[in-house]
Structure 1
């Protein structure tokens, strides 16, 4: 894989309950709403589960995902193709933590920061709807 090894760990406070954050990370229909401009396979199940494999696209760049861990407060995705590495999430009442490591030409820290800010906005604005 061409690119640079990159790693980033970020934790932010969010005005949302743990269950709202969980649904926003583990339910693909919610994940697609805030993770724009990334798009996902159309045939994803209602909830991510361990062993699931799927593809997402960031423009023309495909990223393969394998769900390594899907628990009530922890999600780890093994990534390949556009990013060779992993993305790990932990969350609780009022906070989300993301750890991203991999080799890629994409600016992973920038994408991770943008994604966390979009997630915070999404869960804050949709707290009552979830």
Structure 2
């Protein structure tokens, strides 16, 4: 893999329930709404499941995801192609933490920060509805 090793951990507080955070991370219909401009495979089903594999694209760059670990408060995705590494999510009542590690030419910390801010905006809009 060509690129630079990068590691970033971010944790933010959200005005959202644990269930709302979980759904926004595990339900493709929801994460497609806040993870733009990234697009995803169409065959994801209703919810991520262990062992599931799918592809996301940032413009022409494909990032392959494999659901490695999934339980009530965490998700670990193994990444390949545009990023070689992993993305781990932890969540609870009113907070989410993202740990991203990999080799890539993409600026991973910037993308991670933008994604968390978009997640916060998405969940704020959901709570107002």
The answer to whether the superposition gives a TM-score over 0.5 is: yes
5+ residue gaps, structure 1:
none
> What SS is found at the alignment partner of 1:36?
coil
Distance in 1 between residues matched to 2:75 and 2:94, nearest whole Å:
17
Structure 1 residue 128, shift from structure 2 partner: 5.7
Residue by residue, what CA displacement relative to the aligned partner does 1:51-84 show, whole Å, maximum 9, x if unpaired?
0000010000000000001111100000000000
Q: Which one is further off, 24-33 or 120-129?
A: 120-129
5+ residue gaps, structure 2:
none
Cross-structure match for 2:9:
9
Distance in 1 between residues matched to 2:50 and 2:59, nearest whole Å:
26
Alignment of 1:6-45 (within 5 A): 6-45=6-45
Cross-structure match for 1:61:
61
Q: Per the alignment, do residues 23 and 128 of structure 1 end up closer, same or farther by CA in structure 2, a change over 3 Å counting?
A: farther
Structure 1 residue 107, shift from structure 2 partner: 0.1
Q: TM-score, normalised by structure 1?
A: 0.97
